[in-house]
Structure 1
Amino acid sequence: MIKLGSVFRFRKTSLSFFLGITYFIIGTFYFYDQLKYKHNLPKNPEYASLLNDAWLELQNITNKPHPYNSKENDRIHDYLLHRIQDITSNISYAAIADDHENGVTSIFKQQDTFNASSIDNRVIYFESSNIVVRLEGSNPDLPELLLSAHYDAVPTSYGATDDGKGICSILAVLDYFSKQQPERGLVFNFNNNEEFGLLGSTIFMENEWAKYIKYFINLEGTGSGGKAVLFRTSDATTAKIYKDAVVDSPFGNSIYQEGFYNRYIHSETDYKVYEENGLRGWDIAFYKPRDLYHTVKDSIEYTSKEALWHMLHTTLQLTKFLALESINDIEAKHNLSPAVYFDVSGLKFFAMSSKNLVFWNYILLLVSPLTNICLLFIIRKKNRILLGRLNTWFRLPISLMVSCLITYCTSNVLKALNPFILSSNYVLATLLFVGVFLISNYIVLNVFERLSPTLDFKTVAINEVSVLLWAILFIQNTKSYYNNYKNTGIYPLTISYAFVSFAGNIAYLFMIFKKTTITPEETVKNGTLRVTSTTDVEADPGQPSTYSSIENGSNTVHLDNNTQQTRTNESGATPSENNTEENDERRPLLRVASTEVQNTEKNNVANYDWLLEFLIIVPIPTYIIYNSVSLIMSALNQTFQDTGDIAKTYLILLAGAIFIVLPVLPFAYKINFKLMRLVIVSTIIIFVLVAHVLRPFTEALPLKIRYIQVNDQVELFGIRNDNNMIKMIEDLPSVKRNNLSISCVNDINLTEKCQYMSVFEPHLIDNFKPNEMKMLDIEVIRNDKNEKFKSPYEPINAEIKINVLENRMCTLNFNTTTKVRQVTVFKPSNKNELYYTPMDSNASIPYIFKTSENIDQLQLHKLDFKQNYYHIGIQWLPQLSLSNIDATNVEDGNNNTLIVDVECFWGEYFDDSIDNDGERFNKLPSLTEILKFKPIDISITNKDKGLIKYTQQITL
């Protein structure tokens, strides 16, 4: 019968048992975290009613795609305005401002919001249709809270998650506070046109109510469901407010925040606008799966009430805390450094200042090594054998290098065989790299142990892992210090190093206080007797004894911790295999040494310190690291479809897998071979699955292809994956029937662009007559460049009229060699001037933007579909005034020409157009054909601001 004490000794079976239990518990916590929200619908009748109403609102606003440049967008605006008026009727402390009705318009300069590296100078003309609601607080001295979401969507999406859930959540919060006045004033911004420039939030900052606001909550969606994560927050104080407010199912991680800070995440939300205008707040968003983001599957069908409730309840908890609880707004100003925060399976939320974390990291990086050195000094002072021989210290570094190389090669093989598998199954890929790295270390470390047995590898390895983590943490901590504490994702390193270094010091403490007498080396003629403490390890039954030895020439006697003696001759035979036993003078001394070890063993304390070290090092650091890797990969595993950069994703996953295994390495050589055999078989099966069997794209997680029709040419963009895009195009009926030519060229990284001529005529508007009408036409109204008495130094002015039919969105691009310094947009001053009339200063309102810098682009966003033109004024400087060219050398004035490329976008395709005879036409038949005949594992999204773009170039 096995003694209970032996279960807890450092045996292969014991180690394997506790390792299996640890991984089982981590897996249980992980799946609990992933599934908990699905079983957390409200039982409170008031909350249940709020959720049911919000779900109904979501159903009503996601009937059709509704981008800014669609008529459905107007229907959503009118529906929301009607619902808001119903909710706030008979409420004395409520006020509504409808930007559409009030004619709110602005012209402003804006950097490219989705490309921080862009140096283009863009000017935006924007007519707003935001709906802004204000609930006055009972305490007017408190700064107010803004809740914001956008009701527009992209042309290819129903917008259920992006951002229908956000809209329905703040509508539910408005309904909740319509029944009880908040102490702090609340402002709700149901904004429009976020998708193409964050314009609704930008123009909101010109609203008269914006001056009362200090805090904001922005709701967004970059996936299609799941849980709403706290993407980022302004500072440590706002993170602490979230911690105190959201007590039920908090979910957030500052790793994502670092992604935004360091531009690993390229997309943006309205949070950026509010924060840049001095507000402090929270960015709460859905974030996965990105394969469905901006596609037709962002719909009611692919989301759930549970997901909506998670966002709504999080928002409600945070809003109630801010609106009804007492917050010291003066004290809240003190801690403005970036925040470090994370949750543990939705059960507990932790938050602290990144600045404080950096400070305590440096304290930890100083104190822990000093403690380690002091303990080593005490061990040496007490005449205890200092840990191991030289080869013991080199084992783990060599093993790490070999294992990293093997794992890296495995990732390259996977990239060659099935590079995009991360899109559909990053979890199996993670387990593959974890398995390869663990197996490689197991083999290398056991080879070392066979060649040169040692007692103390575990303690050495713990401290070597501690040194490695020390170096990594020091580097990352210093980077954070010089980056204004914005490296808010380093907390897993802090936790891992703290636990590992603590375990290393614990191991040294046990060496000091163990009741063991270390027998010094005894020299016996040509041999050396080395007997070391045997309390670090106990041999497994049936395992060779390898822990203390007597070496003499070719003969070795092994003494295990049960003091059994085995002698082998040069050929490896044991005494039982030889009839004659060598008789020499060493035999009495061997008996003495054995007796000393036996007497020592009787006085030894039971060896359970390894278990304490294991429990410190493995469970918590492994959980924190795996959870962090999972969060990162669930957000990034499909981003290569946007960027084409798969190599960076693989490197992140590779590093994550290595860190997951790192806490186990000091114990890896001691894993039971039966368990390791299971790991090896599982790893091989996983490799076969991810490399050869599983498909990278499925119906649930499809390949995303971006579509736009430019004039009469269809352009498609996507990653190069077994020519899937080309095969799809070649299989289209119109392409086969008309034998259309397909042209494909490589785009950035792993993406490609394919194009072909469409044989279909778009019918974007009712009663459209292709032979008689043009969707886009440009006229030059005035151009004074060649006026006879014009000074060569005088700025040149021109006016153009862009005739468009039922359009809301156009862009003018100016050639960069000409310096455009002023643009003017003339807006009709009354509803009757919907069709262009000769310029009349009383009939239009000029919106002028003038700058000393060059203007590269003018974007136009108007609301009225019936206004069939844009009236634009442009002023640029002659080349002469910018150089030393003699005026007499400029005769024809060609150096002063301005080239303008005009692009106008339309975003509707869902409804048919109708002619005067009642005949129905598909608005965009080339897109409809693709949607009808594409494979099920491909989804279509928009490439640009619309689904079709008409272009024209003019020279002024």
Structure 2
Amino acid sequence: MGRNPFAFRTLQVTIFILVVYIALFATLLTFHNIVPPAPSNVTPSPGINLTEAWFDLKELSNGFRPYNSRRSDEVRDFLLLRIESILKRNNNLAASKDVVVYNDMTANLTYSNSDTTVYFEGTNIIVHVLGEEESDTSGVLVNAHYDSVSTGYGATDNGKGVISVTQLISHFTTPGNKPRRGIVFLLNNGEEDFLNGANAFMRHPISRYPHIFLNLEGAGAGGRAILFRSTDTEVTRFYKASRRPVGSALFGDGFNRGAIRSQTDYIVFNGRLGLRGLDVAYYEPRARYHTVEDSTKFDSVDSLWHMLSSSLSTVKAMTSDTGTEFDGEARDDGKVNSGKGSEGVYFDMFGRALAVFQLHTLFALSVTLLVVTPIVLIAIHIGLAKSGKWYLFARRKLVEIDGQEVQIDFLGWRGFFRYPVAFVVSSGAVVALAFLQTKVNPFIIYSSEYSVWAMFLSVWICFDWFICVGAYRMRPTALTRIYALIWTYIGAYILLVGATIGENNLKIASGYLFVFYFAAVFFALLISYLEMFALPSKETYTLGDKAPVDGEETDHRPSEENEEEPTERTSLLRGDRQGTYSGYAAHRQASEDHDATDEPENDGTAGKEGSHEQLWANSFPSWTWIFQFLLFAPINIILMGQIALVITTGLKQTPADGNPVLTIYLVIAAFTVLLLTPLKPFMHKIHGYVPIFLFLVLAGTLIYNLVAFPFSSQARLKFYFIQRVDLDSGLNSVTLAGLDGYVQSIISELPSASGQPLNCTSSPSRIGLTQCSFPGLPPNVAKGANPWLPPGVPPEYGYKDWLNYTVKAVKNESAAVFTISAANSRACRIDFARAISAVNVTGSDVDPRLPPVGDHGAKDVRLWHRTWEDPWEVAVRWKPGSQDENDEFGDGMEGRVVCLWSDANTAGVIPALEEIWRFAPAWAVVSKAADGLVEGSKAFVV
């Protein structure tokens, strides 16, 4: 390495940068892929029992438990018994003054959800643990839903949330653990269908009691629980108490901007009840979400403990707060007045600590950086100019030597335009690969995200290195670092301006990434500016020992007896003025004639590596580059890397939902550029072996990414099932929705589909997917109905009793009354050909906060009973028909009455679905397409 291990030389720079990048990337990948281990102690905290929690989770996920299933009732009974046993164990009977259990079998409501009207009867379980300082306006709500989808066992969605709640009940009812503020634990049923359970909670009187909440959810099937979003800064600070907090304000921005389309009970508690709180959820792997793979088979105690421990610490912090920040009285509009918090910014550092501060603080810091940093740089510029050391952009100067004018070239512009050229080419190569991948094999990201990352990182470095090193060898310059940092500063300034506008106008908190990025660039650039004070002034450089001092020309040459032994730091400008010019001229000639195969490097030693750079640059310190790199690279790699990995994991399997795949590749491309930009000032010093190795990586990953099959048994393509039966004609069809080409391949493996006509169209409900329908195996979902008919028996015979309805028109009005019942079902709906304007379900409560019909009416009314086979009576009204002669309805109405069957726990009930489970390829897995697995319908005309 030479005498100086920190010199700005190829070997030192390459080793140091590789060590830092490899160490940080390895740490990021380890943190991202390994869930923090659960403690070996079975009872890590009083009242918490991990063995009990794990086996309760197995019992809970031992079958499908959608609201419209018998299993849902069994799970509800199990949870009530578990809570009762916990209270007995802790000597807290349900009837005691410290704990109250509400078996809520009365709450119901009718409300509007966009262009749909919902009538729902709740079956929630509510446990109120009273606090030491009990108040009517200061409680904490902890929520999880205990239903699952009809095609998923729900270990993560939302079994682990439910078990976390039961263990929290155990902890806070254990003697000695009574909370200071009271807690309402809510286990709601019906989240998977329009967040019905949380909406039903609004009808219970205790819903006015809590003012802050913690919602536990599962949007994946394992891994770590992450803080998805928060209402404000103050409530987010409670999450800082978590032992292993994970979260970023970026995800809250994603929800607020609509980039993340799925929703949780959070929007009910915050948007409709007016509470302030947190949304904590699992987010990976998405391919197992809502499928049979969301089970304990693919889960772990570690994952369960991550949510449970975070919840325990957070709720402890919430209940220990005795301030008045969240206190208030009920408002006139029915919402809870829990005060108004400040917009917040939060992010974690390797899951060890959570930074939380106000968005206003971030905005103030952003504005300060935008205003102050240019002033600082301008001030230094002025100082350098006055001292004659501003060599940037300096072209040439005429000096008089021995009575002759001589032109001295400073070469201050050399290297200025290299950065934007290299940046555009290398970044363009990454974007081009994104489009190529989308065109040739778009879904490889689904299973091989690290191969895609390796390809993008490799191509950027290879292109950038080739341009930077090639330009440096042809025209070496000591200004590479400072010019690279100036361009980066300009780009970061533009990004920060956009982030600052977003912070102020749109309340976007994820701009914190660019605040840190900009600050790091500025301080790295500041070092380059300060380095220039070590240079000789231009007069000293051009005139040498005859440079004027205080207006006089003085010979500064040392006497022979006082002259020091020259070292590597000895100035090259010493000697007589003719020697100075001769040295400059020789340097210029060498620069013009030097062989491009030489490797010029500057560590302050003339005549060796670096001798072809500008002669005045030999006074630059050779070690400051390390501080620049450490200021610029690590913080940005950590912050950007964490977010990049989480976003990649969260998005990579969303194409199965119809999301555009190009967006995912462009997001990865953007983060690739941000992660590697810290290399730019030092790229020309990286050894050629690095890009050679990365070129091989690029070649291998490119071939693999373009030709490999994108799905596997570990990353199965999710597709969607629904079976529809026309109960008037007896015809049924199975519809599978999925990625075009792949869904047809799945159907080709099903024996019942062989030789059947296949009708494929674009999916109207899942944009971006293709749906294919074919005659399916007859379902057997209703008691007493026999679809396996002998030859010659009309097909409608076996279906006619599944659904019964009557509809009576209201005389002289555009209105009608429906009476509907269904065998073995407690979920039906009415689809209308045009929007209705009013709905009334007999027995429904009215909530002024929740209008039954939206501003634009309702196209369907969805009905859920808590009991089986009981009828609904529904009165509807619509606006009279228009006078348009093409109005086919006039004052009448037509549509279909549809009932749903969602219980697939018993063999033989839905043979078409069971066939898919048996015969679908190993790389594919089925999920539900709608509220029901089977829909039976009959037409009506009023």
Query: Normalising to structure 1: TM-score of the pair?
Result: 0.83
Quick check: 849-858 or 419-428, which moved more?
849-858
Structure 2 equivalent of residue 589 of structure 1: none
Deviation (angstroms), 1:642:
0.9
1:775/1:150 Cα in 2 relative to 1: closer, same or farther (>3 Å)? farther
Structure 2 equivalent of residue 505 of structure 1: 526
1:322/1:535 Cα in 2 relative to 1: closer, same or farther (>3 Å)? farther
SS in 2 for 1:393: coil
1:452/1:943 Cα in 2 relative to 1: closer, same or farther (>3 Å)? same
Match of 1:550 among 571, 585, 588: 588
TM alignment of 1:176-187, pairs within 5 A: 176-179=171-174, 180-187=177-184
* Residue 175 (structure 2) pairs with residue 173 (structure 1): no
Quick check: 447-456 or 266-275, which moved more?
447-456
* Residue 531 (structure 2) pairs with residue 490 (structure 1): no
Give CA deviations for 1:811-867 in whole Å, capped at 9, x if unaligned: 222222xx63322223599xxxxxxxxxxxxxxxxx995788533321111121132
Structure 1 equivalent of residue 864 of structure 2: 861
1:317/1:70 Cα in 2 relative to 1: closer, same or farther (>3 Å)? same
1:850/1:683 Cα in 2 relative to 1: closer, same or farther (>3 Å)? closer
Determine the C-alpha separation between the residues in 1 that align with 2:867 and 2:71: 13
1:16/1:516 Cα in 2 relative to 1: closer, same or farther (>3 Å)? farther
Determine the C-alpha separation between the residues in 2 that align with 1:679 and 1:855: 58
Match of 1:730 among 748, 751, 761: 748
Determine the C-alpha separation between the residues in 1 that align with 2:841 and 2:326: 44
Number of residue equivalences: 843
Deviation (angstroms), 1:468:
0.4
Match of 1:14 among 12, 29, 39: 12
SS in 2 for 1:45: coil
1:330/1:776 Cα in 2 relative to 1: closer, same or farther (>3 Å)? closer
Structure 2 equivalent of residue 138 of structure 1: 132
SS in 1 for 2:325: coil
TM alignment of 1:926-941, pairs within 5 A: 926-941=912-927
1:226/1:552 Cα in 2 relative to 1: closer, same or farther (>3 Å)? closer
Q: Aligned partner of 2:607: which letter?
A: Q
Structure 2 equivalent of residue 718 of structure 1: 738
SS in 1 for 2:771: strand
* Residue 644 (structure 2) pairs with residue 629 (structure 1): yes
Quick check: 361-370 or 854-863, which moved more?
854-863
Structure 2 equivalent of residue 402 of structure 1: 425
Structure 1 equivalent of residue 69 of structure 2: 70
Structure 2 equivalent of residue 762 of structure 1: 779
Match of 1:822 among 831, 838, 841: 838
Determine the C-alpha separation between the residues in 1 that align with 2:307 and 2:344: 21
Q: Aligned partner of 2:902: which letter?
A: G
Contact persistence 2:32–2:642 (CA under 8 A): no
- Unaligned runs of 5+ residues in structure 1 are 112-119, 524-533, 539-544, 567-592, 830-846, 913-921
Determine the C-alpha separation between the residues in 2 that align with 1:331 and 1:191: 25
1:502/1:546 Cα in 2 relative to 1: closer, same or farther (>3 Å)? farther
Deviation (angstroms), 1:772:
5.0
Contact persistence 2:803–2:822 (CA under 8 A): yes
Contact persistence 2:108–2:203 (CA under 8 A): no
Deviation (angstroms), 1:470:
0.8
Structure 2 equivalent of residue 697 of structure 1: 711
Contact persistence 2:803–2:937 (CA under 8 A): no
Determine the C-alpha separation between the residues in 2 that align with 1:873 and 1:481: 48
SS in 2 for 1:390: coil
Contact persistence 2:239–2:310 (CA under 8 A): no
Contact persistence 1:159–1:298 (CA under 8 A): yes
1:10/1:77 Cα in 2 relative to 1: closer, same or farther (>3 Å)? same
Structure 2 equivalent of residue 877 of structure 1: 879
Contact persistence 1:823–1:848 (CA under 8 A): no
Deviation (angstroms), 1:83:
1.6
Match of 2:21 among 23, 26, 44: 23
Contact persistence 2:531–2:620 (CA under 8 A): no
Deviation (angstroms), 1:671:
0.6
TM alignment of 1:337-356, pairs within 5 A: 337-356=342-361
1:347/1:614 Cα in 2 relative to 1: closer, same or farther (>3 Å)? same
1:852/1:257 Cα in 2 relative to 1: closer, same or farther (>3 Å)? closer
Structure 2 equivalent of residue 529 of structure 1: none
* Residue 760 (structure 2) pairs with residue 744 (structure 1): yes
Deviation (angstroms), 1:535:
8.7
Structure 2 equivalent of residue 293 of structure 1: 289
Determine the C-alpha separation between the residues in 2 that align with 1:536 and 1:149: 72
Contact persistence 1:550–1:556 (CA under 8 A): no
- Unaligned runs of 5+ residues in structure 2 are 329-337, 394-411, 545-567, 573-582, 726-731, 788-796
Quick check: 806-815 or 127-136, which moved more?
806-815
Structure 1 equivalent of residue 606 of structure 2: 563
Q: Aligned partner of 2:663: which letter?
A: K
Structure 2 equivalent of residue 680 of structure 1: 695
Determine the C-alpha separation between the residues in 2 that align with 1:458 and 1:742: 63
Deviation (angstroms), 1:680:
1.8
1:454/1:924 Cα in 2 relative to 1: closer, same or farther (>3 Å)? same
Give CA deviations for 1:214-234 in whole Å, capped at 9, x if unaligned: 010100001111110011111
1:556/1:514 Cα in 2 relative to 1: closer, same or farther (>3 Å)? closer
TM alignment of 1:593-604, pairs within 5 A: 604=619
TM alignment of 1:442-591, pairs within 5 A: 442-483=465-506, 485=507, 487-513=508-534, 520=541, 549-551=587-589, 562-564=605-607
Contact persistence 1:137–1:181 (CA under 8 A): yes
1:170/1:555 Cα in 2 relative to 1: closer, same or farther (>3 Å)? closer
Q: Aligned partner of 1:876: which letter?
A: W
Query: Normalising to structure 2: TM-score of the pair?
Result: 0.84
Contact persistence 1:65–1:157 (CA under 8 A): yes
SS in 2 for 1:802: strand
SS in 1 for 2:760: strand
Match of 2:246 among 244, 251, 254: 251
Contact persistence 1:744–1:752 (CA under 8 A): yes
Deviation (angstroms), 1:157:
0.3
SS in 1 for 2:735: strand
Q: Aligned partner of 2:817: which letter?
A: E
Deviation (angstroms), 1:515:
6.8
Give CA deviations for 1:36-87 in whole Å, capped at 9, x if unaligned: 5343425373539522111121111111001011110111111111222232
Give CA deviations for 1:363-418 in whole Å, capped at 9, x if unaligned: 11111121112112211221124225435221111111112222211222222232
RMSD: 3.2
Structure 1 equivalent of residue 817 of structure 2: 799
Contact persistence 1:456–1:536 (CA under 8 A): no
Q: Aligned partner of 2:476: which letter?
A: P
Structure 1 equivalent of residue 218 of structure 2: 221
SS in 1 for 2:179: coil
Structure 2 equivalent of residue 212 of structure 1: 209
1:344/1:42 Cα in 2 relative to 1: closer, same or farther (>3 Å)? farther
Give CA deviations for 1:421-444 in whole Å, capped at 9, x if unaligned: 111122221221111111111111
1:872/1:554 Cα in 2 relative to 1: closer, same or farther (>3 Å)? closer
Structure 2 equivalent of residue 574 of structure 1: none
Contact persistence 1:822–1:851 (CA under 8 A): no
Determine the C-alpha separation between the residues in 2 that align with 1:18 and 1:172: 48
Deviation (angstroms), 1:775:
4.9
Contact persistence 1:385–1:518 (CA under 8 A): no
SS in 2 for 1:550: helix
SS in 2 for 1:10: coil
Determine the C-alpha separation between the residues in 2 that align with 1:444 and 1:45: 60
